[in-house]
Chain A
Amino acid sequence: MAEFVMPSLGADMAAGTLVAWRKRPGDAVRRGDIIAEVETDKGLIEVEVFTRGVIEKVLIEPGAQVPVGAVMAIIREEAKSGRIETATGGEDLAVKPRETLPVTTVPTGQTSSPPEVVSPLFPSRLRISPAARKLAAELGVGLISVKGTGPAGRITRQDIERAAQVERIAPATPEIATSRQDKMRQAIATAMARSKREIPHYYLSTTIDMSGALKWLTQENMKRPVEERLLYAVLLIKAVALALREIPELNAFWVEGQAVPSRAVNVGIAISLRQGGLVAPALHDTDQQSLDQLMKNFRDLVKRARAGSLRSSDLSDSTITVTNLGDQGVETVFGIIYPPQVALVGFGKVVERPWSQEGQIVSRPVITASLSADHRVSDGHRGGLFLAAMDRFLQEPSQL
């Protein structure tokens, strides 16, 4: 048997509220299937399962707030190795003591075949239109408490507007922060304060000549229909991923007093949300994707982040974070590492600057790239080599 637990969707998450089960006892699941919807400070998250088997029983009812690591369901694994695996994404939660977690056991009475009638415990997936979901994220309305008035109980935009109005008129606890934006702000504050308190940061920056990369990009985009055009941010992200292959100690987690390198390079992209706050979901296997794939996945990630429809693996799998504040006119970023990661790369805006080339002063578009890194894991020498590698990759954009 494997335990499906509330995953950690970042260092700033302590608990999540189960909104709905998307699978029922008796349902077969395989790696990547969405098993539940969970409300967190980052919005409504679709939680994936990372094991293959059949749902034996569920232990939590929709509406319950569940601490990270608490067992939510038992999955009967397909007999392969007989080894018990935890069904979690992201960090290994198998070490967390089960007895400390407040779990309510719910008898299901179903072990082999799906029930004929859908139990109230299993409202299947939350019925909500994409527009209403997006509005809820913007207004910070928790979906668990919204009653749907649309067909088959579907939550509509009007339901969200009504719920938001009720929250405005009668805030439950006016003295403390209650909106999702406020909660997200608190969660970010907790994670960043922890980072600054625990991680001995060091900072490096370098100026990179972007003329070759931008020229290549302009020529490339001229050949492409608008839907297939690339943003220069994608070149930066790919260069980061390739440089991490050369300096792998920056692609790691700090866990229980030691650095644990990650085999996968999953670059987390800091995405500001229009209603305030930010998330940093992962572009999985960034180093192995073509620029076209990266651009497609980047667009999808931004769209889903802003619509409040991220998946658990988006939020739990980042191995490093990239933040690009060039659009806001920033020249240099001095970033704070998102624990348990050990590095963050920042980019400013592309600016025209005098540049010395073969004894001549010329004007060049340049960008300032910065690295914030954990001194427990790497030294400035290795950090410098990382920035140099990134620069080198950006000088050959057609090879990215």
Chain B
Amino acid sequence: MTDEEIRSIVLRVLGEIAPEADLSEIKPDADLRDQLDIDSMDFLNFMIALHRELHLEIPEADYAKLFTLNKCVQYLAAASASNP
């Protein structure tokens, strides 16, 4: 899966969690939680949705590695590559 495909999935999932948000305005290196007013329940739902979409186990200890859009794509791309 390419980085662009992963980015597209991440944005789609975020759109479901924060339907009122304008996803085109997301700053890729800024914290998603602040930009989209995501609380801990939303973030857990984000992790669950990514797990369902990409069939990847994301340990809780790694959550901080997914706090920005760019970091998220980077983490998921690496995890996908090591778990084809």
The chain A residues found within 8 Å of chain B, CB to CB, are: 134-135, 138, 218, 221-222, 225-227, 229, 231, 233, 272, 274-275, 298-299, 302, 326-328
Q: A226-B47, A327-B39, A327-B40 are in contact. List 12 more A-B contacts (CB 8 A).
A: A218-B60, A218-B61, A226-B44, A226-B48, A229-B60, A231-B41, A272-B39, A274-B37, A275-B20, A298-B41, A299-B44, A326-B40
Contact B37 A227 (CB under 8 A): no
A298 to B41, CA, bound (A): 9
- Verify if B57 is at the interface (C-beta below 8 Å from A): yes
Q: List CB contacts (< 8 Å) of B14-69 with chain A.
A: 18-20, 33, 37, 39-41, 44-45, 47-48, 51, 57-61
Chain A nearest Cβ from B24, distance in angstroms: 18
Contact A225 B57 (CB under 8 A): yes
7 residue pairs of the A-B complex, CB under 8 angstroms, read A218-B60, A222-B61, A226-B48, A272-B39, A298-B41, A299-B41, A302-B41
Measured CB to CB, the nearest residue on chain A to B50 is A226
* Majority SS at the chain A contact face: helix
Residues of A within 8 A of B51 (CB): 225-227
B19, B37, B60: which contacts A134 (Cβ < 8 A)?
B19
A134 to B33, CA, bound (A): 21
A221, A226, A275, A299: which contacts B57 (Cβ < 8 A)?
A226
Contact A222 B60 (CB under 8 A): yes
Chain A nearest Cβ from B26, distance in angstroms: 16
Chain B nearest Cβ from A37, distance in angstroms: 22
A226-B51, A231-B44 given; A274·B39 CB < 8 A = no
A222, A233, A274: which contacts B18 (Cβ < 8 A)?
A274
Residues of A within 8 A of B48 (CB): 226-227
Residues of A within 8 A of B40 (CB): 231, 233, 326-327
A274-B19, A274-B20, A275-B20 given; A226·B58 CB < 8 A = yes
Residues of B within 8 A of A221 (CB): 60
A327 to B38, CA, bound (A): 8
From B20, B40, B41, B51, name the one whose CB has the most chain A CB atoms within 10 angstroms.
B41
Chain A nearest Cβ from B13, distance in angstroms: 13
Chain A nearest Cβ from B76, distance in angstroms: 14
Residues of B within 8 A of A299 (CB): 41, 44-45
B19, B37, B47, B58: which contacts A138 (Cβ < 8 A)?
B19
A226 to B47, CA, bound (A): 7
Chain B nearest Cβ from A224, distance in angstroms: 9
A288 to B46, CA, bound (A): 29
Measured CB to CB, the nearest residue on chain B to A137 is B19
Measured CB to CB, the nearest residue on chain A to B47 is A226
Residues of A within 8 A of B39 (CB): 272, 327-328
Contact B57 A138 (CB under 8 A): no
A274 to B57, CA, bound (A): 28
Measured CB to CB, the nearest residue on chain A to B19 is A138
A226 to B44, CA, bound (A): 8
A134 to B51, CA, bound (A): 23
Residues of B within 8 A of A134 (CB): 19
A392 to B53, CA, bound (A): 41
A226 to B41, CA, bound (A): 12
Residues of A within 8 A of B58 (CB): 226
From B39, B47, B57, B61, name the one whose CB has the most chain A CB atoms within 10 angstroms.
B39
Measured CB to CB, the nearest residue on chain A to B39 is A327
Chain B nearest Cβ from A275, distance in angstroms: 6
A222 to B37, CA, bound (A): 26
Residues of B within 8 A of A231 (CB): 40-41, 44
Chain A nearest Cβ from B38, distance in angstroms: 8
Contact B20 A138 (CB under 8 A): yes
Residues of B within 8 A of A135 (CB): 19
Residues of A within 8 A of B59 (CB): 222
Residues of B within 8 A of A222 (CB): 59-61
Nearest 3 A-B pairs (CB), nearest first? A327-B39, A221-B60, A226-B51
Residues of B within 8 A of A328 (CB): 39
Chain B 68-82, CB within 8 Å of chain A: the 1/0 string? 000000000000000
